[in-house]
A and B are shown apart, each in its own frame.
Chain A
Amino acid sequence: AQRVTQPEKLLSVFKGAPVELKCNYSYSGSPELFWYVQYSRQRLQLLLRHISRESIKGFTADLNKGETSFHLKKPFAQEEDSAMYYCALSPNSGYALNFGKGTSLLVTP
């Protein structure tokens, strides 16, 4: 069975502080992992995919297969980063994404 766990429902940080949103997964094979972001009442947008290893809006995420984690990090949080963040897993390209319950990030001035 595949499962995605985001342990924090809400994460509040000050502007300029580092932020880390945790994501752990369980899957027996080699899944595809993603971070999606949802700004207030908007559609979900892809933030990162693990296969591309790129940085978007200053966010990075490293896949740790040993710890089965895919934590999202940013060294200096900005107020515009306040949003809902979802970690998602897919066994391969043809399959539906399985989402975690999401973490609401609040960046305060």
Chain B
Amino acid sequence: DAGITQSPRHKVTETGTPVTLRCHQTENHRYMYWYRQDPGHGLRLIHYSYGVKDTDKGEVSDGYSVSRSKTEDFLLTLESATSSQTSVYFCAIKILGIPEAFFGQGTRLTVV
């Protein structure tokens, strides 16, 4: 599992509330990514990071922000959750010199 832990694993929240998802890795890898997985859409990139305080937007970044103050943690924040953000969120890392990505277990978020 490349030492990737996502928390929480499941969350139900109300529309309009802020939510923060955490991705933690134990190996100090530079490259970290947040994806959302939805039926019919596959996985879509939300934000990514190439190092501490080095983040950028992906394909579906509206309504999301990220922070990376430490190498091991990449946080995804929904400032004001909406029902359209109900999804499964996956964190991934890439290891320098290895082309593929390694994924966390996912966080299932339901916005009611």
Binding site for B on A (CB under 8 A): 6, 9, 32, 34, 41-46, 49, 51, 86, 88, 90, 92-94, 96-102
Question: By the criterion CB–CB under 8 Å, are A44 and B33 in contact?
Answer: no
Interface residues of B (CB under 8 A from A): 1, 31, 33, 35, 40-45, 48, 50, 58, 90, 92, 94, 96-106
A98 / chain B contacts, CB cutoff of 8 Å: 45
> Contact between B42 and A32 (Cβ–Cβ < 8 Å)?
no
On whether the beta carbons of A86 and B43 are closer than 8 Å, the reply is yes
Main secondary structure of the interface of A (DSSP, over half): loop
Closest Cβ neighbor of B95 among chain A residues: A93
Q: Which of B1, B102, B103, B104 has most chain A Cβ within 10 Å?
A: B103
Provide the residues of chain A in CB contact with B106, threshold 8 Å: 41, 43
In the A-B complex, the 9 residue pairs with the closest CB atoms: A101-B42, A99-B43, A44-B103, A32-B99, A99-B42, A43-B103, A102-B42, A93-B99, A43-B105
Chain A: minimal CB distance from B60 (Å): 12
**Complex interface: chain B residues within 8 A of A101 (CB):** 40-42
Residues of B within 8 A of A102 (CB): 42
Q: Which of B41, B90, B94 has most A Cβ within 10 Å?
A: B94
Q: State whether A96 and B45 are in contact (beta carbons under 8 Å apart), knowing that A42-B105, A43-B1, A43-B103 are contacts in the complex.
A: yes
Q: How far is the CB of A8 from chain B (nearest CB, A)?
A: 13
Q: In the bound complex, how far is the Cα of B48 from the Cα of A93, in angstroms?
A: 14
Known: A43-B1, A43-B90, A44-B90. A97 touches B101 (CB 8 A): yes
Q: Tell me the bound Cα distance from A6 to B43 in angstroms.
A: 13
* Sample of 10 more A-B contacts, CB < 8 Å, known A43-B106, A94-B94: A32-B100, A46-B102, A90-B101, A93-B94, A93-B96, A93-B98, A96-B48, A97-B92, A100-B42, A101-B42
